[in-house]
Amino acid sequence: MAERTFIIVKPDGVQRRKIGEIVSRFEQKGLKLVAMKMLHITNEQAQKQYACHLGKPFYNALVKFMTSGPSVAMVIEGRNAIKLARKIMGATNALDSEPGTIRGDFSIDVEHNLVHGSDSPESFQHEVAVYFTPSEMLNYDTVEKDWL
């Protein structure tokens, strides 16, 4: 059964013009793009998304960074999408990211690591609701039948 996950190309990924490269990496592994939008994340959205980190020393800097420029929010779908997307992204810290992963190839440090992805079905449900409504996401079961 297909699973969905939420991904953000962070402001540093947009600034460095890596949107296409990042989307391509997910698609090359067979994950389908279900929803996508470019936006400037608001303080309210960033605070809601990262509420689990409230009170941690990096929280304010994270919110400030995520609202510093345009980002690309997306939902991707496929078998084991959460685990697979996290493997494609690589470890959060640039020093721990393997070559061949998005972060291993492009990230500078733990803050400037180009991409965020849900780490569980629960975080997906929380995060996707911050950025998308159900009507903004495609249902490939319906769409593909119409297109083929």
Question: 34-46: per-residue pLDDT in tens?
Answer: 999 999 999 999 9
- pTM across the whole model: 0.91
Predicted local confidence at residue 140, as pLDDT = 72
Q: Indicate if the pLDDT at residue 136 is higher than 60.
A: yes
pLDDT band at 100 (very low <50, low <70, confident <90, very high): very high
pLDDT band at 146 (very low <50, low <70, confident <90, very high): low
Cβ burial, residue 114 (10 Å; 0-12/13-18/19+): buried
What residues are annotated to the active site?
A: 116
> Domain total for the chain?
1
Task: Please state the rounded mean pLDDT for residues 14-29.
Answer: 97
Q: Look at the alpha carbons of 65, 109, 124, 40 in this order and tell me if their dihedral is positive or negative.
A: positive
Name the average pLDDT for the chain.
93
Residue span of the structural domain in which 69 resides? 3-147
Q: Are 67 and 43 spatial neighbours (Cβ–Cβ below 8 Å)?
A: yes
**DSSP H or E stretch at residue 20:** helix 19-28
Predicted local confidence at residue 142, as pLDDT = 65
> Distance between the two ends of the chain, CA-based, in angstroms?
21
Q: Are 23 and 81 spatial neighbours (Cβ–Cβ below 8 Å)?
A: no
Task: Please state the rounded mean pLDDT for residues 69-82.
Answer: 97
Predicted local confidence at residue 12, as pLDDT = 96
Residue type, 81: A
pLDDT band at 1 (very low <50, low <70, confident <90, very high): low
The three-state DSSP-derived secondary structure of 71-136 is: EEEEEEEECCHHHHHHHHHCCCCHHHCCCCCHHHHHCCCCCCCCEEECCCHHHHHHHHHHHCCHHH
Q: What is the CATH number of the domain that holds 63?
A: 3.30.70.141
Q: Indicate if the pLDDT at residue 98 is higher than 60.
A: yes
